[in-house]
Amino acid sequence: MRIARSIREYQWALVGALALTALVLGQVGFELLPPRDGELSFSDSLYRSLQLFVLESGGTPPPTPWQLDVARALAPLVAVYAAVGAVLALFREQLQRLRIRLFARDHVVVAGLGAKGFQLARAFREAGLRVVVIERDEQNPLVRSCRERHIPVLAGDASDERLLARARADRARHLVATCGDDGVNAQVALAARLVPRRRSGALTAFVHLDDLDLWRLLGAEELGRAERDDLRLEFFNVTDAAARVMLEEHPFEHDAGSPHVMLVGLEELGRRMLLHVAARWREASAAGERRLRVTVLGPEAGREIDALVRCHPELADLCEIEARTVGPAVGDLDPVRAPSAGAAPSVAYVTLPRETDALAAALALRTNRDLGLARVVVAVQDEQDGIATALRASVGAREGVAAFGVLSRTLTPELLLRGTGEVLARAKHEQYVHAERLKGRTPEENPSMRPWEQLPDVLKESNRRFADGIGPKLAAAGLVIVPDPLADPATAVAALSEEEVEELARLEHDRWCRDLERDGWRRTSGAKDPERRLHPQLVTWAELSEEERDKDRDPMRELPGMLARVGFELYRSARDGRR
């Protein structure tokens, strides 16, 4: 791969060297020919050597010097290669558009070629999916990097629906907006709604938002939207995703005798880490009996913690937080001592914004004998590059220091596709499997009980449509969704009355019937026939048996808990007045 990339990078220098070689060998070869009508002058030999590139050097009687034979073969090849390259460069844009028009189907459109966009474009391409990139700046050096990976790049404004149409967003599977500006990213998604779909199924648009508050609010707004179309809109935030994945890959020991966690830095990533640590602790079996000890180090740790607790009062119930104010210099971490009472921290998460500060802090904490930290996890941009390389060279993972790549570990197709809608769809499937097991059924009897990864696409899509229909049902029932990263799934399940469950279940059945009828299914009095698209349950709610009604009631009872697991909570509308 590296050899091929190097050849592409220096190909024209190589072509020039080969052309010069052919010219010199031709010159030497002509001068070595036996004289016929007098010896050739230097200029005559040079002229005939130049004619080799266009196959016009004239015939020569044998014996022919080997230099001339090589030049005769090499010169035309160089000329043809250069001519083809020039034509391709001249018509690159037209050829690229033709390639997209003919072959772009079920592909991924990436709008914006910054660090995030390039990381995702490369990751989707390496996963075997076709990718089309839209980038405003034609001089962006990452454009060349994409083309080296055979990823076509269209120049222009991704918020222009005409350019999205040229990228064949109408036939795409996913759209990713990473233009570096929250407003522009939102405009890209709105423009995608204006492109008529030519592919069956919805287009899922993943829109990155840097503003964490805006990300949560728009996520709740989209999830609770009363009207649906062929665009599934997923908002994502790298900072929150990094905190979640960092904790998944480097968890703290919540089942220890006296768990204790340390956080260094309370900027955006540090704040999200604290919220995810608290949520993870609540999920632990012992969370209701005691609070998790958390030590936070930072220049203004006390003020930051007070502000965070005001926004999320549940933090004080879940965690016993000790804020230690330390200066920004690495030397300020050296005198940090273990607590006089209780266990020392078992792990420290370093989330400082500057990687050099993060590396120095990790080394200082790891070598602090008084703390005796077993593990230090430090957040960097890419765990395979830059500071992370120096970290491995200095101490290495063997000595308890691990680097976590914020971009390299979170900007992956697997994690991006695991958005809010997908999590809710999986939760719906898990609820169905659990209900079927309670009835004594097995996957052998009911193939729909298979794990999510083994489900056919049609059943996955059915669960995704359930998630799509959450907003319209809640709006009709007078319920609204609000963001709450510390919402408790255990208590949320009691949020709905039986009357509300019944109403939501009826609305869900109506939604299910409409979707099947739109897909060409018809009612039958016989058994279900997928090949002929016949289903006996395509009837009104009043005509359903109680057993069939329970299939809609059960997920509605679990809906508040499902929403809590993705950081949202249900409230009744203002006209009701109850929570």
* pLDDT tens digits along 139-157: 999 998 998 888 999 999 9
- More confident site: 297 or 31: 297
pLDDT, residue 579, reads 43
pLDDT in tens, 380-396: 988 777 666 766 666 54
First to last CA, the chain: 58
- More confident site: 258 or 353: 353
SS (H, E, C) 147-204: HHCCCCEEECCCCCHHHHHHCCHHHCCEEEECCCCHHHHHHHHHHHHCCCCCCCCCEE
Q: Examine the pLDDT at 494 and tell me if it is beyond 80.
A: no
Q: Examine the pLDDT at 88 and tell me if it is beyond 70.
A: no
- More confident site: 273 or 335: 273
pLDDT, residue 577, reads 45
pLDDT in tens, 279-329: 999 887 555 668 899 999 988 889 999 999 999 999 999 999 999 887 655
pLDDT in tens, 515-558: 999 989 999 999 989 889 999 999 999 999 999 999 999 999 99
- More confident site: 381 or 507: 507
pLDDT, residue 239, reads 95
Taking phi over 0 as left and psi of -120 to 50 as alpha, with beta for the rest, 132 belongs to beta
**Confidence band for 49, pLDDT divided at 50, 70 and 90:** confident
Q: Distance (Å, rounded) from C-alpha 364 to C-alpha 336?
A: 10
pLDDT, residue 55, reads 76
**Confidence band for 37, pLDDT divided at 50, 70 and 90:** low
Give the pair of three-digit tokens for residue 369: 């004998």
Q: How many CB atoms lie within 10 A of CB 5?
A: 12
Range name among 21-25, 31-35, 49-53, 389-393 with the lowest pLDDT average: 389-393
pTM: 0.80
Q: Distance (Å, rounded) from C-alpha 305 to C-alpha 322?
A: 9
pLDDT, residue 91, reads 66
Give the pair of three-digit tokens for residue 558: 């679990």
